[in-house]
Amino acid sequence: MQQLLEFLSLSDPNVRYVVLGMILLGASSGVVGCFTFLRKRALLGDAIAHSVLPGVCLAFMFWGTKNPIVLLIGALITGWLSLVLIDWITSKSRIKSDAAIGLTLSVFFGIGIMLLTSIQQSGNAAQSGLEEFLFGKAASMLSTDVLIFGILSVVLIATIMLFYKPFSLIAFDEEFAHAIGLPVRTYELILSVVTVLAVAIGIQAVGVVLMAAMLVTPATAARFWTDKLWLMLILAAIFGSFSGVLGAYISSLSSSMPTGPWVVVILSLIAIGSLLFTPEKGIFARYFIRRNYRLKMLEENILKIFFQLGEKQKEFFNPQALTALQARREMPNKQLSKGLKRLLKKDYLHAFGSDWVLTEIGKLEAQRVVRIHRLWEVYLTEHLRIAPDHVHDDAEAIEHLITPELEKQLEQLLNYPATDPHDSDIPYQ
């Protein structure tokens, strides 16, 4: 607790610089990464991250200094060249974009490693610490680095806000943007520069190897929580900033725990948690939605059996044996038993010895399902001109999906028909 309080107080200048730097980096890269993610160009972040390494090395070789502005300029140049090369390869050859990205990534990174090795063997005393651009070292950030991060992060976020509408349109429907005369290439150019800049300012903290995760992972996690772009941008910025702070805190506990990798680990945990637990889109949520839908189908199919037997016997409240139910519609015993017990709990059925009988509300619910089934058969035959002997299976599926509002519209559209295409009565309340 004492360590946590000291960390949160930000009294240590080194901790303060690292925390502020990681917040700025996490927020800016998360926001920029949303557009890369939505345009299905997530691998571009990886290509740019690996392509900035030769730029950093060349900038150092020409100027002989590790000034962050000088290194940033070199990183921007080679990062931009990698994008140009990828576009040129895909437009001038049969090589697809994923192969072009992989080719460019490997070539630029190989050149970067070659240059870095050459620098390390040159005996230049100023080269110490340059290899940290490979894996990052946020703990080495100084006040000047944080100032540069802050300025560039503001520029990145301001650019996103300024061009929010055209960026959104390009991300979701590029063809429509072309059709309405939007200068798509210009906005793509701006977005590419913003992406390269976001990567370039982050390599000192997390390195070229992990920077792609800083772009893609916050956006991936945020996408599970919302369908609104503005909220996705906010969530991505929050996830990126939170992981930056928590990674910095874990790193402060021990010198053997580097900040950058921990930030990526935390981001990955957030993304995995979002994948598993988000409402509606999470794996568990989708499992329970499908499970509940299957159970609803089971219950309604059983109720329909009772109603059909009641129609045949002209008495809906006669006890029905399991053999009679099975004879009407073949169903596994375990599944039938499960459905009957659920209907019993809902008071749609009563147990009558070893037999089962509909309740009043059970009869109304069964009547509703049968009515929807037969109305849909009428709709298919009258409006879609489908033969009566081909409509049953489709009605079997749709009867579980139609809401009361749609049911009412269907009745009005069909003018309350009395019978279905098979001359069975349509039961109305």
The span from the CA of 417 to the CA of 429, in Å, is 14
Q: Are residues 201 and 330 in the same domain?
A: no
Q: Give the per-residue pLDDT at 43.
A: 77
Asked if residue 339 lies in contact with residue 302, where contact means CB atoms within 8 angstroms, the answer is yes
- Over 340-403, what HEC string results? HHHHHHCCCEEEECCEEEECHHHHHHHHHHHHHHHHHHHHHHHHCCCCHHHCHHHHHHHCCCCC
Q: Give the per-residue pLDDT at 257.
A: 74
Of 212, 239, 261, the position where a domain reaches its end is: 212
Q: Give the per-residue pLDDT at 7.
A: 62
Q: Are residues 184 and 313 in the same domain?
A: no
Q: Are residues 156 and 291 in the same domain?
A: no
Cβ-Cβ contacts under 8 Å for 290 (sequence gap 6 or more)? none
Neighbouring C-beta atoms of residue 353, cutoff 10 Å:
8
Q: Are residues 288 and 393 in the same domain?
A: yes
Question: Considering the entire predicted model, what is its pTM?
Answer: 0.79
- What is the full per-residue pLDDT of the chain (429 aa) written as tens digits? 666 666 666 677 777 777 888 888 888 889 988 998 888 877 777 788 888 888 888 888 888 777 777 888 888 888 888 888 888 888 888 888 878 888 888 888 888 888 888 887 776 655 665 666 666 666 667 777 778 778 888 888 899 999 999 999 988 888 888 888 888 888 888 888 888 888 877 776 777 767 778 888 999 999 999 989 999 999 999 999 999 888 888 877 776 777 778 888 899 999 999 999 998 889 999 999 999 999 999 999 999 999 999 999 889 999 999 999 998 888 888 999 999 999 999 999 998 888 999 999 999 999 999 999 999 999 999 999 999 889 988 999 899 999 999 999 999 999 999 999 999 999 987
Q: Are residues 192 and 289 in the same domain?
A: no
Q: Are residues 166 and 314 in the same domain?
A: no
Q: Give the per-residue pLDDT at 76.
A: 86
Q: What is the CATH number of the domain that holds 316?
A: 1.10.10.10
Q: Are residues 43 and 136 in the same domain?
A: yes
Domain annotation covers residue 235:
no
Q: Which amino acid is at 306?
A: F
Of 177, 196, 212, the position where a domain reaches its end is: 212
Q: Are residues 204 and 343 in the same domain?
A: no
Could you give phi then psi for residue 64, rounded to 5 degrees? 65, 30
- Over 90-111, what HEC string results? HHHCCCCHHHHHHHHHHHHHHH
Structure tokens at 362: 């059970």
Domain annotation covers residue 247:
no
Structure tokens at 326: 């099975």
Domain annotation covers residue 264:
no
Q: What is the CATH number of the domain that holds 78?
A: 1.10.3470.10
Asked if residue 96 lies in contact with residue 90, where contact means CB atoms within 8 angstroms, the answer is yes
Q: Is 423 helix (H, G, I), strand (E, B) or coil?
A: coil
Locus of tokens 């009515």: 371
Q: Give the per-residue pLDDT at 105.
A: 85
Q: Are residues 204 and 344 in the same domain?
A: no
Of 186, 212, 238, the position where a domain reaches its end is: 212
Domain annotation covers residue 223:
no
Asked if residue 246 lies in contact with residue 57, where contact means CB atoms within 8 angstroms, the answer is no
Length of the chain: 429
Domain annotation covers residue 146:
yes
Q: Which amino acid is at 7?
A: F
Domain annotation covers residue 121:
yes
Domain annotation covers residue 238:
no
Domain annotation covers residue 406:
yes
Q: Are residues 306 and 186 in the same domain?
A: no
Q: Are residues 302 and 380 in the same domain?
A: yes
Q: Are residues 291 and 199 in the same domain?
A: no
Number of domains the chain contains: 2
Between the alpha carbon of residue 409 and those of residues 30, 215, 399, 406, the distances in Å are 45, 47, 14, 5
Q: Which structural domain, as residue segments, surrounds residue 120? A: 14-212
